[in-house]
Amino acid sequence: MKKKIAFIVQRYGLEVNGGAEYHCRVVAEKLKDLYDIEILTSCAKGYVTWENEYPEGITNINGIAVHRFPVDRLRGQREFRSLGRKIITKRKPYQKLLRFFGLLDLYEKAIPEDVIKRDEMKWIDLQGPFLTKLINYLKQNNTQYDALIFFTYLYYPTIYGVKVAPEKSILIPTAHDEPAIYMRIFKELFNIPAAILYNTISEKKFVNRLTGNTGVYSDVVGVGIEKPKGNYELNVETLSKTGDNYLLYIGRVDIAKGCKMLIEYFLQYKAAINKQVKLVLAGEVFIKIPGNDDIVSLGFVDEDVKIALLANAKALVIPSLYESLSLVTLESMAYGIPVIANEKCEVLKDHIENSHSGFLFNSYESFKPALDAVLNPDFDITAIIANGKKYVAENYTWDVTIQKYKDAIAYVSRH
């Protein structure tokens, strides 16, 4: 009989636009022939308010049972942001400085424990998605599962869910150096589950240093990347709404993902350099995009469209400061497309420096030469293409990934 595994994630669906959520789906689909997989998730499609858009109950997506629970209350942005400014934004710079000098523990002890815990738990509840029915379901039914796999450290289902049956819980944290992770509640969280599977070595080192959780079983897993099998009959000019060369961004079009900076840099480049190139944005939009013929916003696109766009781009641009793996970066490398990435993101920097398959920027002055190179018809990208494909083939294969998941599941289900 197959072991029964529950994947717990804040959102799930073919239309869901998010790195961790997509990560969860591809792993679940790769493991479904080995285990009896069930997804426990919300009825929300978007993450801003967590509005219930999917019907409650059990559905089937690509051969996997998806059990959806309603979000009890929408996220109130004003209260959430106000509390966030109080406990995160103002505290983080001091925390980083104190941690540098080894004084963070003394600083934390100076603040009353009950005050911190009260505010942080309230922030978690406001952050959402507030899923009391999902947590109650786990409390009543966790014995039927051999392992519980939680995706993303940041949200309510993980914070409360990991505590239900920690001895059989596996956390996929997708963590990075962002303000929220310095909250005391997360130092506790990273020491609770029986196992943690990190995406990268840099993520593991960062979490170990911040939380002291070196005693928890862990491995660096990531995902397997295959060269996408796209629909090559799709008309890329129609899809991209341009017949010109284009740079491509894939993901949430959001300030937090660096998209405002990307747009500003691109328009500055266009104003200075007379080249026929457009910026194509593929993803759900959360910012106001300037009305400019050289910027094409497509909104959310399905997998075939994404692959067709990627295969024909001059480069993929990833301006984000915060990534724990960046699946689309690895897909781009596997597809032989150069990547232009934000040097201030440690994970992206590692990918580019270790693969030699792209460019890094930390300002407009370093962004411009990267664009000059990929848009130069005489620039030889043969080595970049070969290096990217080699990097993915050697480091991100499904055989290795699946075996590491099997090892972790065997570890937590040994009782």
* Domain spans of the chain, in order of start: 4-74+123-224+397-412, 236-395
Alpha helices (H) in 162-258, listed in sequence order: 184-189, 201-211, 236-240
Q: How far apart are CA 218 and CA 135, in angstroms?
A: 25
Q: What is the pTM of this model?
A: 0.79
What confidence score (pLDDT) does residue 212 get?
Answer: 94
DSSP-derived 3-state class of residue 395: helix
Are 284 and 13 a contacting pair, CB within 8 Å? no
Q: Give which of 289, 283, 275, 290 is closest to 244, Cα–Cα.
A: 275
Angle 34-217-148 from CA coordinates, rounded to 5°: 45
Angle 240-266-388 from CA coordinates, rounded to 5°: 70
Q: What is the pLDDT of residues 209-234, one digit of tens each?
A: 999 999 999 999 988 887 666 555 66
Q: Give the residue ranges of the chain where pLDDT is below 50.
A: 90-91, 93, 98, 100
Angle between helices 398-412 and 19-31 (to 10 degrees): 80
Same topology for domains 4-74+123-224+397-412 and 236-395, yes or no? yes
Q: What is the pLDDT of residues 256-301, one digit of tens each?
A: 899 999 999 999 999 998 888 999 999 989 899 998 989 999 998 8
110 residue type, one letter: A
* 223 DSSP 8-state letter: -
Q: Going by CATH, does the domain composed of 236-395 fall within 3.40.50.720?
A: no
What confidence score (pLDDT) does residue 90 get?
Answer: 46
Domain 4-74+123-224+397-412 in this protein, CATH class? alpha beta
